[in-house]
Structure 1
């Protein structure tokens, strides 16, 4: 049971929580309102809702949360989340320390951004505190980054509630980040290649067939960089004219698409021709490697590649210069170097946007584009809706 007491002009409710007596302020001088608050607290006490706030050490919570992320997310996503946590709380635990090029290299730590939240317990994080800190950070980062950091705090506190039983002192907001301000993100600026620029890009990479094939896949199929570099020969179904983007385990490595959903993308005639040409180049390279060291001067007959005899021959479709899976960062660097020789500065993101933009200009539905690109229809609407042809012109006429 609870009792009502008055101190000065305000009323307080005395109630036992977890075996300890507490005085909860009603913040009112009206007895009728205080009685209703007392009745509500008695109900929460009887149903077990009324509980004492916990004290969860932030350093222990962050360490466990990072370990939790490593068991559920791919390495790249984990590294991105750790970077956001480090920006928010600082490198207060070893799990959040950045990778250093040398053991004694302190420059990485010196260049860290200012800490957003300096608290010792998770329960000390409140909605006003989050809003104030993000407001200060808005001077150096954009709204998209602010929303990502807000979402990161929400995920951390949700983990604390589910796995550590955290109870926030403010019972109105079990997760304070849920009511924190969301920042309005401006419309994105989409850069893509025209049909003439597509041909210019592919022609500039003729002396680098591997990079050229990867670029063609991103342009003509809309695959992400990681999806392209994780393709295996058996993912190319030339008979059905499909590229299958699917989760896979290769040796000790595992990978899955960004959206955790497998999909199939049709192969256009232009992309099919480039894939067949790349297959011939691969076969020629294999024969040269196989015959190296033997005295064979006879001319080698080039192997033609049709839709029926397209069979896997390597673990990876896009091979690095060392014959292994291409590291994404190394691929981007090699691509930039090859493009720079021709005065081009396009990147993988531009190629993927080219696929969605050119299809939208042709009048392909945004739903179909989102299905092929592995995006949500809402993201495709934000990116490509302005490129849809003027098919609604007649709909605005009253007569």
Structure 2
């Protein structure tokens, strides 16, 4: 049997090996971690040199390494999101999590809060546990009143961090497994998608008639189903005007001015241009100024996504409209689904998986499924004939004859 000893703030494991007493420094100040290490020693009867002692990694050091790793493996726009969740969970405990934009920092300080939810205050990442994370998420929902969806984002960010730390960061957690992997996700209420009906499409495009570029951009979202950034990254070379009936938009990755962009799924896709959309595009091409971007900002540069959304919101709100780029994209998928197009085709055009399209648009296809429940009737036997056949006497089999071979 092994026992725990404490010297100062450090814990030791004391046990006997071949009759000799040994004492091993467990390199932890946490009683919970020390008990787990002691359990490993007792259950597997490890020798001193074989004891899989956990590491002792400062939380700031591992976060600094992780953010550097993510900067080279994630899309540029995802890095600030990851940093925001890590900063909200652990605080600015390393240089990478410091807020450098003072305007944003002051805005965050002045923003009213519904409570004072604490951060995960640990000195070493090995101190993370399911209980610590679960408590933190509960406080987020209770004190800061974040949504279950946001709480799940925090959970997934920390689970992914621990997976990387164990796989590539040189961290060994107690028990040899991710300590927060068993924390359950919160249930997120299903939200209904919003989209424009045919009369709404006409209303939306008509109110933008005085701004040809903005009107054409909204038409691209509605009639081609592009994501916001997919449209903002379009160049003149992405349009194949002679392909198909009315042309094709090539949604594809590119590198411009040293900045690389890829579609959300990482795969390029062609989107046919409809007759209606072609009319808007032709009108816009007549006034478009030469430049790198097909849709450029007022100073000729690429649109910032948030600035574009703000301009669109202001233009539409003047007429009492509040639809967003996501609503326009859902309009494309919804209208095709209601027309009876297969969800596989819709998913291919939108750059989504068939499962995502089924989740969003399957409920919009009831009319196209009405005839699917009918069985063919021309060659199907009636119930009475089926009964009469089953009750009829089965045909007699012929008698067997014995054949003798005398040879």
Say whether the 8 Å CA contact 2:126–2:172 is kept in structure 1. yes
C-alpha distance in structure 2 between counterparts of 1:186 and 1:222, whole Å: 25
SS in 1 for 2:171: coil
- Residues 190-339 of structure 1 mapped to structure 2, 5 A cutoff: 190-240=193-243, 241-282=247-288, 286=289, 313-339=290-316
Match of residue 90 from structure 2? 89
Say whether the 8 Å CA contact 2:59–2:93 is kept in structure 1. no
Indicate how the Cα distance of structure 1 residues 357 and 45 shifts in structure 2: closer, same or farther if over 3 A, else same.
farther
C-alpha distance in structure 2 between counterparts of 1:232 and 1:381, whole Å: 31
Pick one of 361, 370, 373 that aligns with 2:350. Answer: 373
SS in 2 for 1:254: strand
Match of residue 352 from structure 1? 329
Higher deviation after alignment, 264-273 or 114-123: 114-123
Indicate how the Cα distance of structure 1 residues 277 and 137 shifts in structure 2: closer, same or farther if over 3 A, else same.
same
Q: Deviations over 1:313-358 (max 9, x none)?
A: 5310101111111111111111122112222111111111111111
Q: Deviations over 1:241-297 (max 9, x none)?
A: 221111110012211112222222121111111111111122xxx4xxxxxxxxxxx
Indicate how the Cα distance of structure 1 residues 162 and 396 shifts in structure 2: closer, same or farther if over 3 A, else same.
same
Corresponding position: 1:108 with 2:108: yes
Q: Deviations over 1:138-165 (max 9, x none)?
A: 2311221111111100111122112221
Match of residue 136 from structure 1? 139
Q: Deviations over 1:149-199 (max 9, x none)?
A: 11100111122112221111133xx11232111112221221111111111
Indicate how the Cα distance of structure 1 residues 164 and 392 shifts in structure 2: closer, same or farther if over 3 A, else same.
same
Indicate how the Cα distance of structure 1 residues 315 and 15 shifts in structure 2: closer, same or farther if over 3 A, else same.
farther
Q: CA deviation at 1:102?
A: 4.3
Q: CA deviation at 1:392?
A: 4.2
Q: Deviations over 1:1-49 (max 9, x none)?
A: xxx4699xxxx99589xx94779979xxxxxxx9xx989615x87997x
C-alpha distance in structure 1 between counterparts of 2:3 and 2:64, whole Å: 45
Corresponding position: 1:175 with 2:178: yes
Q: CA deviation at 1:51?
A: 1.0
Match of residue 77 from structure 1? 78
Say whether the 8 Å CA contact 2:235–2:294 is kept in structure 1. yes
Unmatched 5+ stretches in structure 2: 5-12, 18-22, 27-32, 376-382, 384-407
C-alpha distance in structure 2 between counterparts of 1:319 and 1:329, whole Å: 14
Match of residue 159 from structure 2? 154
RCO higher in structure (CA 8 A, sep ≥6): 1
Point out the structure with max Rg over C-alpha.
2
Say whether the 8 Å CA contact 1:90–1:115 is kept in structure 2. no
SS in 1 for 2:168: helix
C-alpha distance in structure 2 between counterparts of 1:24 and 1:96, whole Å: 30
Pick one of 157, 160, 170 that aligns with 1:165. Answer: 170
Match of residue 389 from structure 2? none
Match of residue 395 from structure 2? none
Per the normalisation by structure 2, the TM-score is: 0.77
Per the normalisation by structure 1, the TM-score is: 0.78
Higher deviation after alignment, 268-277 or 386-395: 386-395
**CA RMSD between the two structures:** 3.2
C-alpha distance in structure 2 between counterparts of 1:376 and 1:77, whole Å: 21
Pick one of 117, 120, 129 that aligns with 2:123. Answer: 120
SS in 1 for 2:358: helix
SS in 1 for 2:255: strand
